[in-house]
Amino acid sequence: MAKIQMTTPLVEMDGDEMTRVIWKMLKDKLILPFVDLKSEYYDLGLEKRNETDDQITIDSAEATKKYGVAVKCATITPNAARMDEYNLKEVWKSPNGTIRAILDGTVFRAPILVKGITPYIPTWTKPICIARHAYGDVYKNTEMKVKKGCKAELCVTAEDGSEERSTIFDFTKSDGIIQGIHNLESSISSFARACFNYALDQKLDIWFATKDTISKTYDHTFKDIFQEIFDNEYKDKFEQAGITYFYTLIDDAVARVIRSNGGYIWACKNYDGDVMSDMIATAFGSLAMMTSVLVSPDGVYEYEAAHGTVQRHYYKHLKGEETSTNSVATIFAWSGALRKRGEMDGNQELVDFAGKLEKATIDTIESGIMTGDLYLLSTLENKKKVNTEEFLDAIHDKLAEIA
Ligand code: NAP
Ligand code: MG
């Protein structure tokens, strides 16, 4: 059988622990037998990041800008325990944070639905894709405790030294707390464009919500920027694509989301996105069935699984014990990247292969073959729990029939 050819490379970012084990198996069983893979390989495993003083992460992000498409394995974000475990020179920053800052991207997360795993909200028959604005607000705040008798003010100093002041609160009756937060119009604009571009790319409606009735300057600015960019740059394109932009208050949005059937993108401010993405992931069943894509405002795409390196399974694997780790989100990261590569290069064969890879994966689970996490959730009657490798082998066999 002739393998599918690629004209342009994609960027491949390897990672850590159980997902690194899966990465190799997945390539060997599901990609390399079918595709003459052209990739520029970056090892973002923690050892290599430490060895290169994290330069490898920066290089991989720059390569992603150059080629336009990347696929990334889950990576360890170091903490104190990892310092000792890996004998690190420094507590290196989260690779995802570094890559996101270089690409100025927005993260979109979407669940993968399969028969037999019913969302906790049974009317959610289509995915709800969450877009989180990953800059500013409470995540870059300044906080203080305030003693009774103090007055707290906002003070902005202009370049010429002049000041503008506004009272936050006069703490005459009690001690208290205050918090200062900010955002940037440039960042909100990038977020808006990434959301509208992704909606067009996916041909999905997009919802956005803030608390603009209460926060008449801060949140209202988010609303205004979205509306202005939509009216000036996207209105016509949305009409042609037959999709809509819908703005509402955050509490109204939450109520509508629960009543909906899914099938749209929900753009969220930073905190809302943090909280709601965990709710959506849980409600759809499993973190192992959640894909994630980072989209930059100029149309660069980085695909990955939403979950981490599955450390607990890796330690079992190291002890020689059998694991049953779900590779679906990582497979969909690969299919997403290959499809996007194919679309960018006008390579229909590659686009078709991505669809077949996803179909083979879903068909495998719907035929009853699944990993332990899904086995616990699935309502199928003929279900069978398999180990990490057997699951990939079963998908390979299905794929070989249709590819
Ligand atoms: P995790 O890797 O997402 O795993 C947490 C638990 O969720 C697992 O122990 C497992 O539960 C379940 N799980 C997650 N993915 C699964 C899969 N594919 N198949 C089956 N079960 C799955 O989170 P963590 O253990 O908190 O974090 C481990 C490392 O990942 C950390 O060093 C963290 O920094 C990193 N991380 C990286 C990313 C990223 O690169 N995007 C994201 C998050 C975390 P059971 O043990 O009950 O089976
Ligand atoms: Mg969260």
Is 206 in the same domain as 122? yes
Helix (H, G, I), strand (E, B) or coil at 257: helix
Same domain, 167 and 271: no
Any domain includes 31: yes
Whether residues 95 and 4 share a domain: the answer is yes
Say if residue 207 is in the same domain as residue 78: no
Last residue of a domain, one of 250, 284, 318: 284
13 CB near ligand 1 (under 6 Å): no
The range of the structural domain enclosing residue 248 comes to 118-141+182-284
pLDDT score, position 274: 86
135 with 257, same domain: the answer is yes
Is ligand 1 within 6 A of the CB of residue 19?
no
Percent of the chain residues topping a pLDDT of 90 = 89
Write down which residue in 254, 284, 314 finishes a domain.
284
Residue 162: the pLDDT is 97
Domain-located, residue 221: yes
Cα distances (Å, whole numbers) of residue 148 to 153, 155, 327: 14, 20, 55
Comparing 61-70, 152-161, 212-221, 276-285, the range with the smallest average pLDDT is 276-285
Q: What is the pLDDT of residue 183?
A: 96
Instruction: Express each pLDDT in 385-400 by its tens digit.
Output: 999 999 999 999 999 9
For residue 118, the one-letter residue type is T
d(CA 37, CA 145): 56
Ligand 1: distance of its center to the CA of 307 in Å?
5
Question: How high does pLDDT run on average in the chain?
Answer: 95
Residue nearest to atom 34 of ligand 1 (CA): 77
254: left (phi over 0), alpha (psi -120 to 50) or beta: alpha
The answer as to whether 219 is a domain residue is yes
Q: Are residues 5 and 106 in the same domain?
A: yes
List pLDDT tens digits, range 248-257.
999 999 999 9
Cβ–Cβ under 8 Å, residues 106 and 134: yes
How far, in Å, CA of 41 to CA of 366, rounded? 33
Residue whose C-alpha is closest to residue 16's, from 305, 302, 223, 244: 305
Report yes or no on 270 lying in a domain. yes
CB of residue 373 inside a 6 A radius of ligand 1: yes
Is 190 close to ligand 1, i.e. is its CB under 6 Å away?
no
With a 6 Å cutoff on the Cβ, whether 387 touches ligand 1 is no
Concatenate the DSSP letters of all residues of 238-279 into one string: HHHHT--EEEEEHHHHHHHHHHS---EEEEE-HHHHHHHHHH
Residue 143: strand, helix, or coil: strand
The predicted structure's pLDDT at residue 277: 87
228/169 same-domain check: no
Give the dihedral of Cα atoms 169, 173, 174, 175; nearest 10 deg.
50
Q: pLDDT band at 298, cuts 50/70/90?
A: confident
Reported as a pLDDT band with limits 50, 70 and 90, residue 165 is very high
Tell me: the pLDDT tens digits for 17-74?
999 999 999 999 999 999 999 999 999 999 999 999 999 999 999 999 999 999 999 9
How many independent structural domains does the chain possess?
3
Q: Is the CB of 310 under 6 A from ligand 1?
A: yes
Asked if residue 289 is part of any domain, the answer here is: no
Q: Which of 42, 294, 310 to mutate to test the pocket of ligand 1 (most atoms within 8 A of CB)?
A: 310
**Cβ-based neighbour number of residue 205 at 10 Å:** 17
Rg (Cα) of the chain, in Å, rounded? 23
C-beta 76 within 6 A of ligand 1: yes
Paired tokens of 124: 């959610």
CATH number of the domain that 7 lies in? 3.40.718.10
Q: How far is CA 337 from CA 23, 39, 294, 316, in A?
A: 14, 11, 11, 30
Ligand lying nearest the CA atom of residue 287: 1
Indicate if the pLDDT at residue 136 is higher than 90: no
- Cα 215 to Cα 403: distance, rounded to the nearest angstrom: 53
The answer to whether residues 122 and 259 belong to one domain is: yes
Handedness of CA 322, 304, 42, 24 (dihedral sign): positive
In a domain, 291, yes or no: no
CA–CA separation, 22 vs 392, rounded Å?
9
What pLDDT score was predicted for residue 91?
92
pLDDT at 173: 96
Let me know if 156 is exposed, middle or buried by CB neighbors in 10 A (0-12, 13-18, 19+): exposed
- Look at residue 269 and tell me whether its pLDDT is greater than 80: yes
Give me ligand 1 centre to Cα 18, in Å: 9
The answer on 153 and 58 residing in a single domain is no
| Same-domain check for residues 270 and 206 | yes
CA–CA gap between residue 390 and residue 369 (Å, rounded) = 9
In this structure, which ligand is nearest to the CA of 285?
1
State how beta strands 151-157 and 106-111 pair. unpaired
What per-residue string of b and e applies to 90-126 under the rule 16 or more CB within 10 Å gives b?
Answer: eebeebbebbbebbbbbbbbbbbbbebbbbebeebee
pLDDT at 100 over 90: no
Neighbour-count burial of 25, counting CB atoms closer than 10 A to its CB (0-12 exposed, 13-18 middle, 19+ buried): middle
In the predicted model, is pLDDT for residue 210 greater than 80? yes
Q: Supply the DSSP symbol for 381.
A: S
Report the separation in Å between the CA atom of 7 and the middle of ligand 2, taken as the mean of its atom positions: 38
- C-alpha of residue 278 to centroid of ligand 2, in Å: 5
Closest ligand 1 atom number to CA of residue 15: 40
Phi, psi angles (nearest 5°) of residue 75: -130, 155
Residues 402 and 375 in one domain: yes
- pTM of the full structure: 0.91
β-strand partners of 163: 157
Is 363 domain-assigned? yes
For residue 76, the ligand 1 atom closest to its alpha carbon is: 32
DSSP state of 402: H
Q: Is residue 257 part of a domain?
A: yes
| Lowest mean pLDDT across 207-211, 217-221, 284-288, 311-315 | 284-288
Average pLDDT over residues 248-274: 95
Which ligand minimizes its atom distance to the CA of 268? 2
Same domain, 37 and 131: no
Strands annotated E in 216-327: 245-249, 264-268, 290-295, 301-305
Instruction: Tokens for 12, please give them.
Output: 């491949």
Q: How confident is the model at residue 134 (pLDDT cuts 50, 70, 90)?
A: confident
In short, whether 75's Cβ falls inside 6 Å of ligand 1 is: yes
Q: Which ligand is nearest to the CA of 329?
A: 1
Which residues have a Cβ under 8 Å from the Cβ of 104 and sit 6 or more positions away?
A: 190, 296, 297
